[in-house]
Amino acid sequence: MTSYSDSLNALLDDLVDANLILFNEGVVDAFGHVSVRNPDNPDHYFLARNMAPGLVTREDLIEFDLDGHVVDGDTRKVYLERYIHGEIYRARPDVMAVVHSHSPSVVPFSAVKSNPLRPLCHMSGFIGKGAPIFEIRDVAGDATDLLITNPELGAALSKTLGHSTVVLMRGHGSTVVAPTLKQAVYRAVYVEVNAKLQADASRLGPIEFLSEGETRTTQETIEGQVERPWQLWKMRAHQAQKQWLDHGL
Q: Round to whole Å and give the CA distance between 175 and 162.
A: 12
DSSP lists the bridge partners of residue 175 as 100, 167
What long-range pairs does 213-220 form, CB within 8 A, spacing at least 24?
214/122, 214/125, 215/119, 215/125, 215/126, 215/127, 215/128, 215/129, 216/125, 217/125, 218/119, 218/122, 218/123, 218/125, 219/125, 219/126
DSSP string for 116-150? -----SGGGGGGTT---EE-THHHH-SSS-S---S
**Distance between the two ends of the chain, CA-based, in angstroms?**
29
Catalytic position from the list 25, 81, 87, 192: 81
Check if 220 is active-site: no
- Residues designated catalytic: 81
